[in-house]
Structure formats: C-alpha cells, structure tokens
Amino acid sequence: MPLATYKHFSARQLNLMLFAANIIGAMIYLRAVSPSWAIPEERAHGVYSVTGEPFVWALYALPILTGFGLLNLAWGAYICAKRKWRNGYLLLAITMAWLVAVWIDFAHH
C-alpha cells in the first residue's frame, strides 16, 4: 500500500524514523566491528598482529555499510524527487554521523 493511504503517517515521521534507524545502525556498526580493533595492551607491548583483522572487519562491516548506504541513497533520491530540500539537512547530519563512526573505527586499528 502506498504511504498516502495511511492518514496518520507523514513524510516527517518517515524522515525521523530513517534518522533514528541510521543512528542505531551506526552504533550497531561500531559494536560489530569492535572485534577487529587492536588490543591496547598488545600495542603497548609492541605486538602488531593483523592476521585476521581485515577479514573480520569485512565480514561484519560491509553488509552494514552496504545496507545503510543503499537506504540512504534511496532516501536522498526521494528528497531530490520530491524536492524536499529541508529534509536534506537530516541526511547531511546522518552522513556526518556515519563519517564519525567510520573515523572511530579506523582510529582503533
């Protein structure tokens, strides 16, 4: 059923739900990739093991990043198609949140 048939469902609610889903997704991403982070005690003793870290990262990170990337691409296409430029601010905020999450992830490698 199209969204227009729901009388109590607005585009604003959809944008807020997508915003919240992305914030939760960024937290899930950080939790999922944390096993690939370097152990601080090992780094302090000079141990730099990288044997399985890229595989662990790719196994957990790529599906999450791909899924939310496609979701945000569709959201951006919706914003452009409907010319709802104010909703673009939420998408820009989400883009910054994902960049911060990826920065935190790579800072721990």
Cβ neighbours for 49, distance < 8 A, ≥ 6 positions apart: 42
Average pLDDT of the segment spanning 41-66: 80
Percent of the chain with pLDDT over 90: 48
**11-15, 27-31, 78-82: range with lowest mean pLDDT:** 11-15
Query: By the 8 A CB rule, do 94 and 71 touch?
Result: no
pTM over 0.85: no
Percent of the chain with pLDDT over 70: 86
